[in-house]
Each structure stands twice: as structure tokens, then as C-alpha cells.
Structure 1
Amino acid sequence: MPLDSSPLPIILADADAAQSNAGDIVELAQAQAQGRAGAAGESIGQVSAVEGSVTITRTDGAKVAATTGTPIFQGDLVETKDTGAVGITFADESTFSLADNGSMVIDQMVYDPGSQKGTSAISVATGVFTFVSGQIAKTDVDAMLIKTPIAVIGIRGTAGGGKAGPEGTANTFSMFVDPRGGSVGEMTIKTNGGSVVLNQPLQTTQMSSSFVP
């Protein structure tokens, strides 16, 4: 599937509804994120753009309809419906978008604005996504992670996107031109079978199993 490489906060692209183990992955990711939730319960970002129906489920089970400005907390489950799409801006100035029929959990976001260092992790169970990395991804390729059912993507100072789905379905990952300029970063896609490094804009890799590189 072609991916939109523009830095828009919302992706207007079709995403096939995935089946299989996606629901289990979401439940596990949210449970793990709940255990790491910050003591103060401070928001780690906010919805910067929304289209159609988008639901956010908090770690306590409360559901809210996403609107522009809705705060995002660690452990939130974000789901987009048939015509839904959402863009989120995080505390480190990174942005993340999820298209229709998508599901993701905000696993972790720890950021110190003084040192401009931290860690972030997002689990995307299903759907088409794009991102532009922020301050966290400037420090280390493992500081910003995106997890899908078959791969873990380490991000260092770049923009990119992909399509996530369960084992046996095509997962696609692409590196885009960073709209903020600067040096070219990289995406390291790791599976149980090995790893692939993307370090040039417009490079793409596709895989359908966690047991092959």
C-alpha cells in the first residue's frame, strides 16, 4: 500500500481491518503501560487533529471521544473507526498519526525538557501510521520505539510511517524526508529473525512474520 509521506497530522488512507492476535497485543500493552503510569498522572501530549470517530480508553476503563486538545496519558488506548483519523503531539514535540480502523497504546513517554532526553514507546496493533520524531529520538536509536505485532522499530531523528497488522499479514515500514530538516536519521526494524536498517528517505521494507528479518 502506498504511504503518504507528507507531514500532515492526519493520514487520510485506507487501512485493512486486521484480525488474529491484535486484541491480545493491545491488552498486554495497556496492562504494562498502566504499571508504569506516572505518579502525578500528568498528560504526556494532546490530540492535535481529529477526523471522524476516535475513542480513547484510559487505564481505568473510562472512554472519551477524542477532540482537538484532548489530553493524552501514558497507557491510553487510541482507536479509530471506519472514517476516523487522529494526530497527536507529544511533550518532546514528536507527532504521531493513526488512520482509520487503527488501534494503538501509548506505552511510555518520559521526557525531561531540561536535558531534552527521555524514552517513548507506542504499540500499534493495527492500522496505518506516520510520525515525525522529536527531541527524545535525537539521543539514541532505542529511545523512541514503535512496536507492532511482528516488529520493534527504533527511531533516531527522522520521519516515517507504516502499516501494522498481526502475524501473517503484511507489515510495511517506510522512512520519509524529515519535514523539519536537519541530518538524516534512521529506522532500525527488529524481528526475532534479524534486523533491517532504513537510513535514506523513501526506503521501504515489508514483512509478514516476526521470524524473518
Structure 2
Amino acid sequence: MFLVYNFLSGGNLETFIHQKSGVDKQWPIIYKIAIDIAQALTFLHYSCVPRIVHRDIKPSNILLDEELNAYLSDFGLARLLEVSETHATTDVAGTFGYVAPEYATTCRVSDKADVYSYGVVLLELMSGKKSLDPSFSEYGNGFTVVAWAKLLIKDGRFSEFFSPELWELGPQENLVAMLRLASSCTGETLSVRPSVKQVLEKLKQLHS
């Protein structure tokens, strides 16, 4: 069997986040990438039969073309869910820092585990930080971009979260709204975490 992929000359999102210049990291591009990934996940969770849970959403598994359109890749850990199934019980797979807490502790994976990982990716995309960034060492071992975002949101210190170029150019109101949305995606419990369809609807409201 052969798998055929388009050649995507933009590299992966991990390289974009951590190596690209500030010129590329402006709201229109950040917003488009966020939308592209949310649309891909919405397709997997709602249009595929059986539904597909990716289980390994992270920047290195998101590829970019020359126009910075984003594509999900690496479905090696994906699981199928029948329409009637709310979750699957399986060995924990994925990458530390992106795995949803309920999946890590109970081995029960659902489509909302992908939403959690997507939220982490958004936080990295906006801040320029890694999920387990060395700069978090002052907060103690295991401190992540998720905890950092929640801390800054709680204290109202929004400007400290974003890369300086992104915050300066704005629009700051939309950036804060996307930060809050990404943080909601990383809610500790399934009941408070939105579906990716809800995330996509809220993202579309931020278009300007």
C-alpha cells in the first residue's frame, strides 16, 4: 500500500512558531492557521463515519504550504469512534504536554481530547512558547503553557502572554478572545470543554 501526500513547502507549525520572524506572526496569519486546524478537526469529528480521533495533535504534526495554509498530518495514533460511541478505552498515546488530563488518568479518549491538544497548540501559536517551555522553570517542575495562560488570565496580565510583535500589532481584543477560547479548550473536565464545532463557531466570530 502507498500513501501519497502533497508536498507542503512551508514546513511544520513547530518550526513556524519557534523559528519564523515576527513579520509572519501577525493576527491574520495566526487566525487563519487556527481556523484551518479547527476545520480539519471538525471534519474528522463530525463528517467522517466512523468518526476519527487524531490523538496526537501538536505543532510538529501540522504542516504548512507556501501560503501558510495548515494541514493535519500523522494519523498513526488515530482511533475510530462509531457515531453511538462517546469514547474509547485504550492505552494512553500522544505527546506529553498535549495529552488531555482525563485521557492520561483514565485511558478513556474522546473527541474532546483532541480539543484539549488543539487548545495547547493555540496557546503555543500565540505566545511563541513551547508547551513545556524552559522559561516556566521558575514556577516548578511540570508547569506548562496551559497553567501559565490560566495564571495570566486570572491576573488580567494579557499582554504578557503574547509575543511582543503580535500584541503590539493587535487587534488586542481579538487576541484576548482567542486566548480565552484556547484556555477553555484546555479545561480540566469534559463538561466545561467545548466541542471543536463550538470552537470553530467562536473563532469565526473573531473574523475582522
Q: TM-score, normalised by structure 2?
A: 0.24
The structure with more strand, counted as a fraction of residues: 1
Q: Could you say which structure has the larger radius of gyration? A: 2
The structure with more helix, counted as a fraction of residues: 2
